[in-house]
Chain A
Amino acid sequence: MTDLNHIPFQNDDPDADDVLERALGKSGHALPQDAVARREIAQTVAGLAALGADVPQVKPSDALRAKVLGAAVKRSTPSVVPRNNAADSNRFIRVLGLAASVAAVILLASNVYFMNRLSELEGKQDAMMASMAHDADMMVAMIAEGQKTPLADDSGQERATVVWMAGAAQGMMITQDLPMLSPDLTYQLWLIGPDGVPVSAGTFSVDTDGTAHLMFDAGILVEGFNAFGISVEPMGGSEQPTTTPLAIGQRT
């Protein structure tokens, strides 16, 4: 049995008095490089987390969920997969607009700084155009040669199509005539395995004309899934569908 009151810190020197303050992030000293001292601080941080876990639990308002998820996603760098290319297009246009503004300043001032800045923006623009061109090539190939599964609503009206190249894990979903949702809701695409378990392929929003396309990476061959579905979920998406799917299709 360990004597709990007589367990010295391994780094039992005068600096040990600072362990608490260092672990709490308020010491004027930088964190030590010494491995033993760093471990001591790590253990202190972890142990003190018990204090945090022990506070009275207060449920936040329901509205906070959408606020938190909206803020997180809004401030993040858009990802490659899954990707909503409508958003890419908007960002592309914004970058072009900024580049044009910067170019105008250069003409007036011939400022080296802005020349460098323009060069950076052009690089980003080129990369973005290359990415979009790659996506476009993929889309054309998938639409022309790929496998297709239509997703239909209860009335049988086709609402979306999932396309992919045979033997690939990447695919794309194209929607048709889906209504725009309120800001606290999002569409979510599901890939349904042979066991009936839905796996999220990402969330998406539609343009004013009801269209959107979502590139996704299934992680395994798309043929490994038996069906596809679209449901309406709270902003940020859900771990599993929480509403009846508005469109569904069995892989053909």
Chain B
Amino acid sequence: LELSIDLDFMAIPIVASDADLIARIVARDEGALASLYDRYGTLVFSVALHIVQDVAQAEEVTQDTFVKVWAQGAAWNGSRGKVTTWLITISRYTAIDRLRSEKRKASGDAVALDDILAVLGEEGPMDDPVWADVQILKDSLRDLPADQRQVLELAYFRDMSHTEMSDHLNVPLGTVKSRVRAGLNKLRGLWLERGVTDD
């Protein structure tokens, strides 16, 4: 058999969109999962490591996150949310869930991840293309006052309640709530500033 095929095709790069990768994952394309990992594995691992503060556990969280993506990719609503937001939310939830288990902290009344992802897919400012870019996600924090960002980070990464933040920061509970409210309002305002429709 004479081979006359140009092997240069191997050098042609293919850049699939995030939505394409999720669609292929739903169709059980292992290559798409590998591509998604190559694209966002570091982001997922970094979020997990920031929360659990342990490389081995962060690896397990990363693994669990992509297992959930592989198993539940069909639940992602591509017309609503961005994959980055989705992955960060799953990674953060999985890491916090692991910490709660270790602390023997009651989690039976916690909102299920599936519920959060469902509501995330129903509505959201992520409809706007600007939210596709991780860098723009970061930029949205640039103007957040330090005290407001601090309470949001304690809640987000350390799973602290308002009361726990009050004790940790040694400030009145009302002050913590005010900072949380102001910080969330600020984030919402930044979304509005970027032209996201709020009907």
Convert B98-125 into 0s and 1s, putting 1 for each residue whose CB lies closer than 8 angstroms to a CB of A. Answer: 0000000001011111011001101111
Rounded to whole angstroms, the CA-CA distance of A70 and B64 in the bound complex is 12
Q: Enumerate chain A residues within 8 angstroms of B184, measured Cβ to Cβ.
A: 9, 19-20, 44, 47
The answer to the question of B52 belonging to the interface, with a C-beta cut-off of 8 Å to chain A, is no
Cβ-defined contact, A64 with B191, below 8 A: no
Q: A52-B88, A72-B70, A188-B31 are in contact. List 6 more A-B contacts (CB 8 A).
A: A26-B96, A26-B159, A49-B88, A67-B63, A79-B28, A197-B9
Closest residue of chain A to B14 (Cβ to Cβ) is: A240
Cβ-defined contact, B63 with A71, below 8 A: yes
What are 30 A-B contacts with C-beta separation under 8 Å? A3-B189, A8-B185, A20-B152, A20-B162, A24-B96, A24-B159, A26-B110, A26-B111, A27-B109, A31-B111, A35-B123, A39-B123, A42-B124, A43-B191, A44-B187, A45-B124, A46-B120, A46-B126, A46-B131, A47-B188, A51-B157, A53-B138, A55-B46, A58-B46, A67-B59, A69-B30, A71-B67, A197-B14, A237-B30, A237-B34
Q: Enumerate chain B residues within 8 angstroms of A249, measured Cβ to Cβ.
A: 1, 5
The answer to the question of B166 belonging to the interface, with a C-beta cut-off of 8 Å to chain A, is no
Knowing A46-B131, A58-B46, say if A31 contacts B96 (CB, 8 Å). Answer: no
Q: Enumerate chain B residues within 8 angstroms of A237, measured Cβ to Cβ.
A: 29-31, 34
A42's contact among B45, B113, B122, by CB below 8 Å, is which?
A: B122
Cβ-defined contact, B42 with A58, below 8 A: yes
Convert B131-155 into 0s and 1s, putting 1 for each residue whose CB lies closer than 8 angstroms to a CB of A. Answer: 1001001101101000001001101
